[in-house]
Structure 1
């Protein structure tokens, strides 16, 4: 246990440093990198095929693509999670339940954060910026897309990279293995795959590099938070806390979605009040903190949140 905590204490400051340095670099070169990558893709069949692979998925009726590794893992974790509650299977799959519940909680949280950020920051994609350079906005800066445009086509953060970094859950689960030699390689492979996805989205011309960069940073932080601070997987492995009752991990994920959506709705209402005032915006601003507090209190009651 102490070794794992030491790893986290070392890893998180390193990740913070990468986030700060990456933000400084991409704040300067983000647009230039995007234009250069798109230009290279236009003249390279290899890069075009690479970008296409990471763009497509079987679940859109296309061929097998870069997102499908994550989607298959999500379906498998959902199947294991549901089967683990069948009376005859509960004892056999009780160990698998905590890991499948962890996976489902992570993907729920990542999905709602990704969509919330798209709407809040309303960043135009590179293709839109290519047609109208005035639409460009730096990461963490409010863009010029309308609410409906941002909801469906916002650039920050990258949804595809969000799906790819979900695979880092495998690395966190590997922390519980006795074969310590596989932990670092699994982290490198899963994070490396997300980096390949982020680059593919830039080559495709659908995202800026900062969109993918921050999807990866946020994905790692969320997985670590849920692994240690929410579900307390190490404590469950050591039998220091009891196994959760039916669907509590899933309930927590839904409540987080409500809490985060309420907070984002409040921030969005503040932003759009200054752009185009509508009568219901102050009501949202008043109600959203109350809804967020209610959901957060319910979240803390459900699980052993530190």
Structure 2
């Protein structure tokens, strides 16, 4: 019998040197260095890009989606959405009583895709709403709407939820394809692992490029959408679901439908955290009497949901009964 690990807080990382720590440091360094170049140049960069690529047919395809419900046809964004829907169907099938033992690995991997999809979407919308950055397509027509990265934009909350462009939602979700590369990490074939990362990372890069040349996002939106997406996937893979340990039998998800239930709970947790951040923002910029009440209530519910997140994946510690204490 293997041990079911329980941690005091699901944000707590395991200590020790591993791929996730190296990747986190490397990506943040690259992001900060690149941002220093684009800080006040990204609107001009978008203007030049849209002029150079005068026939953005492919870019338009990548930006289209049936799920936008605005008359678009099938587009590049739909691949990320279809991957999530396919993983959800497979996940539910593997949890049928007759399939639970037979398709354990499939359940682990599809659950990883589901959890990653939800976290990427929630994280992106929270950031986009908080920063409320006006997209370059509008800023090109009215330069007064332009703001550099990390400065509060001029969208209202409603507009920011749907149109805020920092970070790039399309690019963040496109990194969902990289989950397929992480699934191959247990393969003994190192060439296969490298090729998978190159192929699926390329999808995220292509999505980011097309977002810029179509005037939908700034380079910094795309850059941090890609970086945040990869880091979140790493966090889910190594720190939350412990996918390698699950596949090797060293770790087990405690609750049935644990990954899905955790993802749904994370949606509400993300909303509460986002409410706290946005409430603080408006309390500083334009204080109203109800802002402190809103912030306190959101913190309260965030703590409650956080406690629920702790119990969904990590069960009580169970030791091997065959072990004998040597006196």
Query: Which structure has the larger Rg over C-alpha atoms?
Result: 2
The answer for the alignment partner of 1:197 in structure 2 is: 207
Listed as ranges, the matches of 1:17-32 within 5 Å are: 17-32=29-44
The answer for the alignment partner of 2:321 in structure 1 is: none
**Matched residues in 2 for 1:214 and 1:120: separation?**
15
The answer for the alignment partner of 2:24 in structure 1 is: 12
Helix, strand or coil at the partner of 1:225:
helix
Question: How far apart are 1:6 and its partner, in Å?
Answer: 4.5
Q: TM-score, normalised by structure 1?
A: 0.91
Deviations 1:97-117 (A, max 9, x none): 111111100110111111111
**Matched residues in 1 for 2:80 and 2:87: separation?**
10
The answer for the alignment partner of 2:249 in structure 1 is: 239
- The answer as to 2:305 corresponding to 1:295 is yes
Helix, strand or coil at the partner of 1:175:
helix
Question: How far apart are 1:244 and its partner, in Å?
Answer: 4.1
Question: How far apart are 1:7 and its partner, in Å?
Answer: 3.8
- The answer as to 2:247 corresponding to 1:220 is no
Question: How far apart are 1:202 and its partner, in Å?
Answer: 0.9
1:54 to 59, 62, 67: 62
Q: TM-score, normalised by structure 2?
A: 0.85
Question: How far apart are 1:243 and its partner, in Å?
Answer: 4.2
Moved more, 258-267 or 276-285: 276-285
Question: How far apart are 1:5 and its partner, in Å?
Answer: 5.9
Extract structure 1 runs of 4+ deviating beyond 6 A: none
Question: How far apart are 1:154 and its partner, in Å?
Answer: 0.9
Query: Does the CA-based 8 Å contact 1:255-1:295 persist in structure 2?
Result: yes
Moved more, 7-16 or 217-226: 7-16
Moved more, 23-32 or 161-170: 23-32
Deviations 1:234-293 (A, max 9, x none): 111111122443211112112222222212211211222344444432211111222222
Q: Which runs of 5+ in 2 are unaligned?
A: 1-15, 316-327
**Matched residues in 1 for 2:120 and 2:159: separation?**
20
Bigger helix share = 1
The answer for the alignment partner of 1:35 in structure 2 is: 47
2:166 to 138, 144, 156: 156
Q: Which has the higher contact order (CA 8 A, sep 6+)?
A: 2
Q: Which runs of 5+ in 1 are unaligned?
A: none
Question: How far apart are 1:130 and its partner, in Å?
Answer: 1.5
Query: Does the CA-based 8 Å contact 2:63-2:211 persist in structure 1?
Result: yes
1:122 to 132, 135, 155: 132
Q: CA RMSD in A?
A: 2.0
Deviations 1:119-177 (A, max 9, x none): 10010011221222121111122111111111221111111112211111011111111
The answer for the alignment partner of 2:8 in structure 1 is: none
